[in-house]
A and B are shown apart, each in its own frame.
Chain A
Amino acid sequence: MSPYLSELQLDALRELANIGSGTASTALSSLLARPVDISVATARALPFADAVDAVGPAERLVTAVAIGVSGELDATVLLLLEPEDAAVLYALLGLHPADVLAPSALGEVGNILGTSYVNALSAMTGLRLEPEPPQTANDMLAAIVASVLAGRAGGAELALVLDADLAVDGEDCTMAFMLVPSQEGVHELLSRLGLEG
């Protein structure tokens, strides 16, 4: 139970994340020409520190692609991969991790997945959403997630995080996919779903 979101509201947000990540997985699948599995999405509203802890070990080095969303909803879509997973993804794209093109290729993968996710959200809610260009970072997991939370939901008491894992079938390549809406964004999503108040 969350003190500010009901189970019904969290369920509806989880369903949005399921459909959004499902659409993103289809995009990844056609990009790589192989099947992609998705986990059931989770929707959690947690105090900031707990939200960061819930994502994983704070100092784990990860590769992140962040896509800002503006328009009628302020949010960030975050794609997180461990270095080994990123290496497999590069190989599937025909690149070496040290290739100068690797970071921009990863940014482009994040862009395609993030845009698919955002378009699915837009179609479901009727909100006009504009994805911004992707930004990549290689850094500590907590530093990345905390920076996104502070930038998006900093003023709120609880952070809402919607996430799902995508796994490339038959390859050791998993990535986490997260949506972090602003505080106003959470209410905007719920009101479009008819679940506000």
Chain B
Amino acid sequence: MTVAETMVRMGEYAASAAAGDILVSLGLGSCIGVALLDRRAAVAGLAHVVLPAAEGRDGGAGKFADTAVRALVDELCALGARRSGLEAVLVGGASMFSFGGSSGMEVGLRNDAAVRAELERMRIPIAAAETGGSRGRTVKVAVDGARVTARAAGDADVELFPGTKGAA
């Protein structure tokens, strides 16, 4: 098995059914890494969401919570995932700075809420989440074993999924 890391940068998303693939988003601040996994089909994906809603803007599907989740689900299903088998893991959505903006609420918090709302709309359960707070994080999604790990700045990797429940 050859191991290959794919960087999923701001506003991008990627999916894979190759056992050796690891999808990575480095240094998530207010952005959210949305990992979607189908353990039985052994398919995994990661979206690096920047803002809560497209609101008609054209910045690429991966940039906004609503469009990114839908686009990633489509891509996963095309690789053989079943929509009913998908589980989500969320990482990021920190509030590193607060500026007196017009929004009244932090981008990180709004991203978190928007991603959760879209997942609920699509009936995808959230298996684990490491969101909020004030620290940046890196997320890694290994297709093999559907493993998701996260680490905060200067810390070690923490396994978020499959976690204590074990693989199905």
Closest residue on chain A to residue B138 by CB atoms:
A59
Q: Distance (Å) between the CB of B7 and the closest chain A CB?
A: 9
User: Which single member of A49, A61, A155 contacts B11 (CB below 8 Å)?
Assistant: A49
A135 at the interface (CB under 8 A from B): yes
Complex interface: stretch among A26-34, A89-97, A137-145: A137-145
Report B-chain residues with C-beta under 8 Å of the C-beta of A148. 97
Quick one: closest B residue to A130, CB to CB?
B100
Stretch of B51-59, B123-131, B142-150 lying at the A interface:
B51-59
**Is A191 in contact with chain B by the CB < 8 A criterion?**
no
A155 touches B29 (CB 8 A): no
Interface of B is mostly: loop
Say yes or no: is B50 at the interface (Cβ < 8 Å to chain A).
yes
Residues of B within 8 Å of A, CB-based: how many?
Answer: 32
Q: Which of B11, B27, B98 contacts A142 (CB 8 A)?
A: B27
Query: Do B107 and A151 have beta carbons less than 8 Å apart?
Result: yes
- Whether a CB of chain A sits under 8 angstroms from the CB of B135 is yes
Contact flag A138-B153 (CB < 8 Å), given A155-B51, A155-B57: yes
For the complex, give the distance between the alpha carbons of A66 and B28 in Å. 17
A76 to B63, CA, bound (A): 21
Tell whether, in the assembled complex, residue A137 and residue B10 are in contact, meaning their CB atoms are under 8 Å apart: no
Min CB distance B36 to A, Å, is 20
CB–CB B135/A146 < 8 A: no
Q: Is the CB of B28 within 8 A of A143?
A: yes
Are B94 and A147 in contact, CB atoms less than 8 angstroms apart? yes
* The residue from A70, A146, A155 contacting B28, defined by CB atoms under 8 A apart: A146
A106 to chain B, nearest CB (A): 15
Q: Among A48, A61, A143, point to the contact of B29 (Cβ < 8 A).
A: A143
- Note all chain B residues with C-beta closer than 8 A to A139: 29, 96, 135-136, 153
> Which chain A residue shows the least CB distance to B95?
A147
Other A-B contacts than A47-B11, A68-B99, A150-B29, 17 sampled, CB-CB below 8 A, are: A48-B11, A52-B9, A52-B27, A53-B9, A59-B26, A70-B100, A76-B97, A140-B26, A140-B29, A140-B138, A141-B27, A143-B153, A146-B27, A150-B50, A150-B107, A151-B30, A151-B99
